[in-house]
Chain A
């Protein structure tokens, strides 16, 4: 399975600001995903990021709030824009391989 890293691992941010989360994979992958895990809850898919095309967002998530970049086959970023306390969550990236998804360690975000 791929080795996935995320930066930052955690952050505390002020409302109204934006944070960009990086996801790096040690091998080339076609499909990458971004998830949100709100406190005490399960994972919700934000969007699918394929290299060379626009990200595909799930219902309830919009590009203006969660812009995503996918400049190459090993890297992606998710920006959480104009943050509010409701954005406090763990954000995880994952990659697909062998009909399976493998997850990064997550970014723990607290918005004050």
Chain B
């Protein structure tokens, strides 16, 4: 069975500082990996995903994540955060041939302060 672990429930950070949100997964088969963002009182938006190919994937708003198979990780990073990045971030995994079913981590609340 798959599982996703987000060790940090909350990450406070000052504006323009770098941030890393950690995500580790457990699976015995090949996986697809995703980061979703949920802004206050909104639904989930896809931030970025790894399906295959380059292990480093980027979003349009400056976030990036790197798939590390040996460490079973997919950490999310941004070199300089903005106040508007304040949101809940969810890591999720599906396995190939699994019918697109997603398993979510417990989420990390990123709070950017001035």
A residues at B contact (CB < 8 Å): 1, 31, 33, 41-45, 48, 92, 94, 96, 98-106, 108
A33 to B100 Cα, complex, angstroms: 10
A42 to B32 Cα, complex, angstroms: 19
B residues at A contact (CB < 8 Å): 32, 34, 36, 41-46, 49, 51, 90, 94, 99-102, 104-107
Q: Using A42-B104, A43-B104 as known contacts, say yes or no to A103 and B43 having CB atoms under 8 A apart.
A: yes
7 contacts between A and B (CB under 8 A): A33-B102, A41-B107, A92-B43, A100-B49, A101-B102, A105-B42, A106-B43
Taking chain A's interface residues, is the majority helix, strand, or loop, or is none over half, making it mixed? strand
Is A102 a contact of B104 with CB atoms below 8 Å? no
Is A103 a contact of B36 with CB atoms below 8 Å? yes
Q: Using A100-B49, A102-B46, A104-B43 as known contacts, say yes or no to A41 and B106 having CB atoms under 8 A apart.
A: yes
A98 to B49 Cα, complex, angstroms: 11
Residue among B46, B51, B101 with most chain A CB within 10 A: B101
Nearest-CB distance from B38 to chain A (Å)? 9
Q: Which residues of A contact B94 (CB under 8 A)?
A: 99
Is A48 a contact of B99 with CB atoms below 8 Å? yes
Q: Using A41-B106, A42-B105, A42-B106 as known contacts, say yes or no to A99 and B46 having CB atoms under 8 A apart.
A: no
Q: Which residues of A contact B44 (CB under 8 A)?
A: 43, 92, 94, 103, 106
Q: Which residues of A contact B32 (CB under 8 A)?
A: 99-100
